[in-house]
Amino acid sequence: MSMRVLVTRDGLPGRGVERLGAVAEPVFHTGDGKPEPAELAALAAGADAVLALGNDLVDAALLDAAGPSLRVVALASMGYDNVVAAAAAERGVVVTHTPGVLAETTADLAFALILAARRRLGAASADLARGGWDVFRMHDYLGLDVHGATLGLIGYGQIGRAVARRAQGFGMRVVHHDPYARVDDALSAATDLRSLLAQSDIVSLHVPLTDATRHLISVRELALMKPTATLISTARGGVVDEDALLHAVREGRLHSAGLDVHEREPMGTEVSPLAAEENVVMLPHIGSATHATRAAMVDLAVDNILDVLADRPARTPLPGTSAVPGRPARTTGAPA
C-alpha cells in the first residue's frame, strides 16, 4: 500500500478515518491543538490526499509541500473560506467540503440562539446560578417574543431553509435575501437587504465568508435594524463587524445578539467584550457539534477521498470546481 493520506487531527469523531486505512496509510498530526502551517507542510510531503478541518489553511504552500502526488483535499466542514481555491485549481487538486450533512444540526443551534437571545436565557440562568433569584417580580427577566416575530434570513441555502422550516412551528413570518435564491417559496418571501433589515425582528446570517460578505453587517446595516431586533450568526465571524455590533448593543440600538462564530477564533482567555453584554449570547463555534453530525462530516470527507483515490469523481467538490483531479477548474463565489 503506497498511498498516503494526511489527516490534520488525531481522534476525529466516528469511524470514518478507519476506512481510509483499507486503501492508504493515514499520517496524523498528533496533539490537541491546531497544527501550524509549517507542521502540516512537513507532514504533507508525498501525500495523495489530505483530510483537513475548516480552520486549516489550504494554500499554495501546503499544496506544493504535498507535491504532484496530491489529488484531493477533503474538508470536514461546510465552510471553505480557509481554502485558496484558485491555488488548488491551478494544481489540478480537487477540494471537497461537507454540505448537507450539517444543515439540520446547525439550524437547530441557530434556533437555540434565537430563543436564548430574545428571552435573555443567558442572563437569567447566570442570575439564578449566582443566587440572585430571591423573589418573583413581574418585571424581572423580561425578554421579547419569538412566536409571531418576523425572521429575516440573509443567505437562503440549506441552513437558511432549515431555519425557515423551524420558524413555521413558531408562527413566524419569514423573509430572505440571497443573490442565488431570489424567489419566494412556500416558507419565505424574497426581499432586498435593506427591506429585510428594516422589517425583521430577528436577522439570522447564513452566508459563506467571501470578499463580498466580509462585514456585510456593519454600522450602516445595524442602523437600519429595529432597536428591538436580534442579530444571530452561525455563519462565519468575519461577516459581522463586531466593533459596530458592540456599540449598537451597548447604546441600546439593538436588543440582542446570538453568535456562534466570531472574528477571532478561538478566543482563549482574551474573551471578546461582547461576551460581557447581558443581551449577547456567545458560543464557541458549535453549530455542527453533535456526535452524529460530526461523525457524518468526517464520513463524507472520507468518502470524497476514497472516490478520488479510486478514480471516481468526488461527491461534494466546492461549488463551481472540478470533481476530478488534473483538470483546470472554474471557481465561483456561489454558496452551497
Judged by CB, which is closer to ligand DGY: 77, or 200? Answer: 77
**256 is a site residue for ligand DGY (CB under 6 A):** no
Known catalytic residue: 19?
no
Q: With CB under 6 A, what is the number of residues at the site for ligand DGY?
A: 7
Known catalytic residue: 236?
yes
Q: Which of residues 259-298 bind ligand DGY (CB under 6 A)?
A: 287-288
**158 is a site residue for ligand DGY (CB under 6 A):** no
As a whole number of angstroms, the distance between CA 295 and CA 278 comes to: 34
Torsion, Cα of 189, 190, 195, 197 (10° steps):
80
Number of residues written out for the chain:
336
Residue 85, C-alpha cell as written in the block: 481555491
Stretch that binds ligand DGY, among 36-44, 71-79, 167-175, 213-221 (CB under 6 A): 71-79
Known catalytic residue: 265?
yes
The answer to whether 117 and 258 are in contact (CB under 8 A) is yes
Site string for ligand DGY, 22-61 (x = CB under 6 A): --------------------------------x-------
Residue 80 Cβ vs ligand DGY, minimum distance, rounded to whole Å: 8
φ, ψ dihedrals at 95, nearest 5°: -120, 130
Catalytic residue among 4, 255, 285, 294: 285
Q: Classify burial at 187, counting beta carbons within 10 Å of its beta carbon; exposed 0-12, middle 13-18, buried 19 or more.
A: middle
Residue 98 Cβ vs ligand DGY, minimum distance, rounded to whole Å: 6
Helix spans in the chain (H) = 16-20, 37-44, 60-66, 85-90, 103-118, 121-129, 158-169, 193-199, 219-224, 242-250, 291-309
* Residues at the interface with ligand DGY (CB under 6 A): 54, 77-79, 102, 287-288
Catalytically active residues, by annotation: 236, 265, 285
